[in-house]
Amino acid sequence: MLKIGIILGSTRPGRNGAAVAEWVRDLASRRDDAEYELVDLLDFALPHLDEAIPAAMGQYANEHTRRWAAKVAEFDGYVFVTPEYNHSTSAALKNAIDFVYAEWNDKAAGIVSYGSLGGARAAEHLRLILGELRIADVRQQVAFSLATDFENYSTFTPAPRHEADLNVLLDQVNSWAGALRSVRADASVAA
């Protein structure tokens, strides 16, 4: 069975992302096509990138990096839940992504974003980052507006239409994640 990580990309106190990520996990758990796990960056307490050797070398010096690498490696694909801060994704998510390299390669991802414009600019920046890591991001996106999907900009009240959008996103992530398994298998044989 496929294993998909739902990565909560905000560590900010009072973050809206926790409710969004829980919503994703709750809806995903109703499906029987993959195992879904919520991965909260707060649980990993990653400092500002502190590895002297570039992640692409795979020589992780710190225990927190090795722990994070092991978690990222468990999954066939990801759903990134990202806020939009200053027209981009969060620094915490970018930092977490930068800690490891090969563990991300040849996997699939979808993006669930939130912000004043539904997090659209954060998602676009995240897509560029994912491409560099050889993560196949899917077309479908779920975008929540702080003005219409949150009461008083803080209590998550998603419009019902988002549920169908999320199911399309998960269909696409799972399709690509399954297809990319053979790419990873071929790469491990070649190594």
Sign of CA dihedral 99, 102, 105, 107: negative
Q: How many whole angstroms separate alpha carbon 86 and alpha carbon 129? A: 17
pLDDT at 99: 98
Q: Let me know: does 68 contact 40? Beta carbons within 8 Å.
A: no
pLDDT at 122: 98
Q: Let me know: does 107 contact 131? Beta carbons within 8 Å.
A: no
Instruction: Report domain extents, the chain.
Output: 2-190
Calculate the alpha carbon distances from 6 to 16, 51, 60, 62, 71 in Å. 15, 25, 24, 24, 12
pLDDT at 33: 97
pLDDT at 189: 65
Q: How many whole angstroms separate alpha carbon 164 and alpha carbon 98? A: 32
pLDDT at 190: 64
Domain 2-190 belongs to what topology?
A: Rossmann fold (3.40.50)
User: Could you list the pLDDT tens digit for every one of the 191 residues in the chain?
Assistant: 999 999 999 999 999 999 999 999 999 999 999 999 999 999 999 999 999 999 999 999 999 999 999 999 999 999 999 999 999 999 999 999 999 999 999 999 999 999 999 999 999 999 999 999 999 999 999 999 999 999 999 999 999 999 999 999 999 999 999 999 999 888 766 66
User: DSSP readout, 80-98?
Assistant: EEEE-BTTB--HHHHHHHH
Which phi and psi (to 5°) does residue 6 adopt?
A: -100, 105
CA-closest candidate to residue 78, choices 105, 111, 102: 111
Give the pairing type, strands 155-156 and 150-151: antiparallel
